[in-house]
Amino acid sequence: MSERTDYSSSEPVDPGTAQLEHAIVVEDDRSECTIFPRACPEEAILTRWITADETSHVPLTNCR
């Protein structure tokens, strides 16, 4: 069974850039987060997103 939680922000990431939305999908014992532009035409959304799961993240302390 999967659960979908949508979160969004009305604040732009940076002035002059596109606003982003994200959706978190939790399924069994794993979760994924997909980020996509808020004002994206339906036909373009298929090529303008990025998804990350728990294995995609690197602790910030490892990058310093």
The predicted-structure confidence for 4-61, as pLDDT tens digits, reads as follows 544 444 444 454 566 888 999 998 888 899 998 888 888 888 888 899 988 887 888 8
Which whole-number Å values give the CA distances from 14 to 5, 8, 11, 45, 59, in the listed order?
24, 15, 8, 21, 24
pLDDT score, position 3: 53
pLDDT of residue 38: 84
The answer for residues whose C-beta is within 8 angstroms of residue 56's C-beta and 6 or more apart is none
Contact 14, 20 (CB under 8 A): no
Q: Residue 28, by phi and psi: left (phi above 0), alpha (psi -120 to 50) or beta?
A: left
Q: Hey, where are the domains in the chain?
A: 2-58
